[in-house]
């Protein structure tokens, strides 16, 4: 398994190289004069010239590239034009917020999605199955911002149980963090939970038909063990594959959710950066988010090997 | 007392065209240590009979419509799920046709053997492991203690079937049902597995039901034979009698289908026609439309299984007159 982790880490290197090149190209690919575009229409020629020098755009391209990678090696992603602080520091302040939100949403997704998928599969075609699948359909169809709004109206405005927005760092107050993040995480999770419920259901139905399930029953194992050990261990294999994708969907979905609940995460940071043509920020943020997602997918691959011995021994 | 008594067993399946009987009025019994062969074409109801005894059919669509199964003096039909779980394993256990897919691919074979024992006996982890190694030894897996942690995909089909047998015998069952245990294996491996089953029967003294479509397997292993056709038992006799004096035209047809190197007969003989689908069975004798000896009266009623000579029963109106003298 350590072998799998090591091989996957190695294979992540070219991916990160390509991503970093794309991030580098981002600013240079702006049509016309990037410095003028970044500075905006009201900038004076002197300001544009100053910006060009600040961003190193006056250098030949190969020197820019060397500078860029030298910076990356030192953890220096440049300075944000808007915030005036280092891109890395700004990202490290916001990225954990988004990761926290996404992982919390992932917990909801897994709990709701896998549980309702298993129950629906075990009671195939019963009213329980139909109710679970209708619920999944609603989850898939309702946009998360709309669900978020409904939740704010109900739980924050009418019942007053939860705050309508804002953010409390986990380190400051775990309870406060839970209170501020539950609605955003749930509204973000429901769409993915619906998808996962459907995938879990069909995966379970497929596995429950297999010969080894009949063998497990023929051995006199209790029903619970047949389902939760023999069936689930196999049904989880396709589910884990989707979990990697779900995490990246949750991260991108978080942009809207953060805006709705005024959570100071990556979504807000990057939206501001894009609107204000803060290219160094966009570039660095993109690189760091991608790195995180690559790590998530490596974890998924390792999990995959943990679940399926046939992968482990390849 | 018989080890197993099956009487009037009828299993129905709900299908798009209404309820259809997969097996009908199946009756037979089995003594301790006896090997009973059940033979018939695919779809004749052999496996449904076995799975009904084990209560392993999905319900719905399956339903035991009539009859009962008595095992070791206990009536199995109508037992709760939990009670039936205790019968499976130490009472009756089963091996299947497909060794390649019958083992769970994500657990080691040791784990799968040990959990079988653990489900029925309280043993320490070390004892479980010892028992599993002993079982693997008994079924002829070399260096058993090392192979215990192997996964099914690291083994050949023959080895997997040996593991299945080890698992099935791990709780010392009184009855083993082997559903086409050698069909998916190479011919050379087939003989090894059959020999193994015979040896283990002698060692453990359990009753065995071997389900097969292969008359050769029957000749080699069974003490007594049950021939099934379209969901019904159509002949029952000791193995020597079946081969010497088959009474049902279908049984005779089955035996003629066995290719022979020595006898002077056409290279391959086949019974004309095909087994009718459960929903489209003909009236009267189900073999009638394919039978060379059928009379119009054969379509009038289903011939009952009648004992025509000691220990030999057949379900054919013309069995007596057609029987070889």
> Block means of pLDDT (10 residues each) for chain B, length 325 residues?
88 86 90 90 88 88 88 87 88 88 91 90 88 86 87 88 87 89 80 84 88 87 91 90 87 80 68 81 85 83 86 85 70
Count of the separate structural domains present in chain B: 1
Task: State whether A121 and A35 are in the same domain.
Answer: no
Task: State whether A230 and A263 are in the same domain.
Answer: yes
What is residue B263's predicted lDDT score, i.e. its pLDDT? 67
The verdict on residue B144 lying in a domain is no
Domain span including residue B295: 223-325
**Integer Cα distance of B304 and A82 in angstroms:** 94
Give the C-alpha distances (Å, rounded to integers) separating B189 from A272, B134, B181: 71, 22, 11
Task: State whether A128 and A64 are in the same domain.
Answer: no
> In the numeric block, which tokens belong to residue A90?
């700004």
The verdict on residue A86 lying in a domain is no
Domain span including residue A29: 2-73
Q: Among A69-83, A239-253, B269-283, name the most confident range.
A: A239-253
Which of A219, A230, A313 faces B167 most closely, judged by CB atoms?
A219
- pLDDT surpassing 90 at residue A45: no
Q: What is the mean pLDDT of residues A140-151?
A: 85
Domain boundary among A46, A73, A100: A73
The verdict on residue A233 lying in a domain is yes
Domain boundary among A17, A38, A73: A73
Q: What is the average pLDDT value for chain A, to the nearest integer? A: 86
The verdict on residue B37 lying in a domain is no
> By the CB < 8 Å criterion, does A220 face chain B?
yes
Residues sharing a CB contact under 8 Å with residue B229, sequence separation 6 or more, in sequence order: B40, B41, B44, B250, B275, B286, B287
Task: State whether A290 and A144 are in the same domain.
Answer: yes
Q: Which residues pair with B88 in a beta bridge?
A: B92
Cβ count within 10 A of residue A309: 18
Number of helices (H), then strands (E), in chain A: 14, 0
Q: Which residues pair with B304 in a beta bridge?
A: none
What is residue A116's predicted lDDT score, i.e. its pLDDT? 92
Give the position of tokens 């190197």: B261
- pLDDT surpassing 90 at residue A289: no
The verdict on residue A79 lying in a domain is no
Q: What is the mean pLDDT of residues A131-147?
A: 86
The verdict on residue B259 lying in a domain is yes
Phi-psi region of B212 (alpha: psi -120 to 50; beta: other; left: phi over 0): beta
Q: Which residues pair with A12 in a beta bridge?
A: none
> In the numeric block, which tokens belong to residue B197?
């089953």
The verdict on residue A78 lying in a domain is no
Contact B316, B234 (CB under 8 A): yes
The verdict on residue A84 lying in a domain is no
> By the CB < 8 Å criterion, does A124 face chain B?
no
The burial of B124, by beta-carbon neighbours within 10 Å (0-12 exposed, 13-18 middle, 19 or more buried), is given as: exposed
The verdict on residue A81 lying in a domain is no
> By the CB < 8 Å criterion, does A20 face chain B?
no
User: ipTM for the complex?
Assistant: 0.86
What is residue A314's predicted lDDT score, i.e. its pLDDT? 54
Task: State whether A306 and A217 are in the same domain.
Answer: yes
**Integer Cα distance of A155 and A176 in angstroms:** 16
Q: What is the mean pLDDT of residues A68-89?
A: 83
Give the C-alpha distances (Å, rounded to integers) separating A81 from A45, A55, A86, B100, B102: 17, 10, 9, 63, 63
What is residue A89's predicted lDDT score, i.e. its pLDDT? 87
The verdict on residue A193 lying in a domain is yes
Of all residues in chain B, the one with the smallest CA distance to A304 is B106
> By the CB < 8 Å criterion, does A84 face chain B?
no
The verdict on residue A83 lying in a domain is no
Residues sharing a CB contact under 8 Å with residue B202, sequence separation 6 or more, in sequence order: none
Count of the separate structural domains present in chain A: 2
Task: State whether A127 and A64 are in the same domain.
Answer: no
Q: How far is A217 from chain B (nearest CA, A)?
A: 7
The verdict on residue B313 lying in a domain is yes
């Amino acid at each position: 398994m350590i072998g799998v982790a090591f091989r996957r880490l190695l294979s992540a290197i070219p991916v990160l190289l390509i991503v970093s090149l794309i991030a580098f190209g981002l600013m240079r690919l702006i049509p016309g004069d990037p410095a003028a575009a970044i500075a905006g229409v009201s900038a004076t020629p002197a300001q544009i010239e100053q910006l060009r020098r600040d961003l190193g755009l006056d250098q030949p391209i190969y020197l820019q590239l060397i500078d860029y990678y030298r910076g990356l090696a030192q953890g220096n992603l440049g300075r944000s034009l808007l915030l005036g602080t280092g891109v890395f520091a700004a990202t490290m302040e916001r990225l954990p917020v988004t990761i926290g939100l996404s992982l919390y949403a992932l917990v909801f997704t897994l709990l709701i999605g896998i549980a309702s998928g298993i129950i629906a599969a075990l009671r195939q075609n019963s009213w329980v199955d139909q109710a679970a699948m209708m619920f999944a359909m609603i989850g898939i169809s309702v946009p998360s911002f709309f669900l978020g709004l409904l939740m704010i109206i109900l739980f924050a405005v009418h019942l007053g149980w939860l705050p309508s927005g804002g953010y409390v760092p986990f380190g400051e107050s775990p309870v406060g963090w839970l209170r501020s993040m539950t609605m955003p995480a749930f509204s973000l999770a429901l769409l993915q939970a619906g998808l996962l419920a459907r995938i879990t259901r069909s995966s379970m139905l497929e596995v429950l038909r297999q010969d080894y399930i009949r063998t497990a029953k023929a051995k006199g194992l209790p029903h619970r063990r047949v389902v939760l050990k023999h069936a689930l261990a196999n049904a989880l294999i396709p589910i884990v594959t989707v979990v990697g994708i779900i995490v990246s969907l949750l991260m991108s979905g978080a942009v809207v959710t953060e805006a709705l609940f005024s959570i100071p995460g990556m979504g807000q940071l990057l939206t501001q950066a894009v609107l204000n043509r803060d290219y160094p920020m966009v570039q660095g943020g993109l690189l760091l988010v991608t790195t995180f997602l690559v790590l998530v997918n490596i974890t998924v691959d390792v999990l995959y090997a943990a679940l399926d011995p046939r992968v482990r021994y390849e | 007392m018989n080890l197993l008594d099956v009487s009037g067993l009828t299993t129905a399946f709900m299908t798009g065209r209404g309820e259809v009987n997969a097996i009908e009025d199946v009756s037979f019994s089995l003594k301790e240590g006896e090997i009973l062969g059940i033979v018939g074409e695919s779809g004749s109801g052999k496996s449904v009979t076995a799975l009904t005894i084990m209560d392993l059919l999905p319900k719905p669509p399956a339903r035991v419509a009539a009859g009962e199964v008595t095992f070791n003096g206990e009536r199995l039909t109508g037992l709760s799920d939990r009670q039936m779980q205790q019968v499976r394993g130490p009472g009756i256990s089963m091996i299947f046709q497909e060794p390649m897919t019958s083992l769970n691919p994500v657990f080691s074979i040791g784990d799968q053997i040990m959990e079988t024992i653990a489900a029925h006996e309280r043993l320490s982890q070390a004892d479980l492991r010892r028992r599993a190694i002993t079982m693997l030894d008994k079924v002829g897996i070399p260096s058993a203690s090392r192979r215990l942690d192997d996964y099914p995909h690291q083994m050949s089909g023959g080895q997997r079937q040996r593991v299945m047998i080890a698992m099935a015998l791990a709780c010392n069952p009184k009855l083993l049902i082997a559903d086409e245990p050698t069909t998916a294996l190479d011919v050379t491996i087939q003989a090894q597995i059959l020999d193994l089953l015979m040896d283990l029967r002698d060692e453990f003294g359990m009753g065995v039901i071997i389900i097969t479509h292969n008359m050769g397997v029957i000749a080699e292993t069974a003490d007594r034979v049950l021939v099934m056709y379209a969901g019904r038992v159509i002949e029952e006799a000791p193995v020597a009698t079946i081969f010497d004096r088959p009474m049902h035209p279908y049984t005779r047809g089955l035996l003629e289908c066995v290719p022979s190197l020595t006898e002077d007969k056409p290279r391959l003989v086949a019974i004309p026609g095909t087994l009718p689908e459960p929903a489209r069975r003909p009236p009267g004798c189900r073999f009638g439309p394919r039978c060379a000896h059928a009379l119009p009266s054969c379509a009038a009623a289903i011939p009952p299984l009648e004992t025509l000579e000691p220990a030999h029963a057949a379900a054919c109106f013309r069995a007596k007159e057609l029987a070889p003298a």
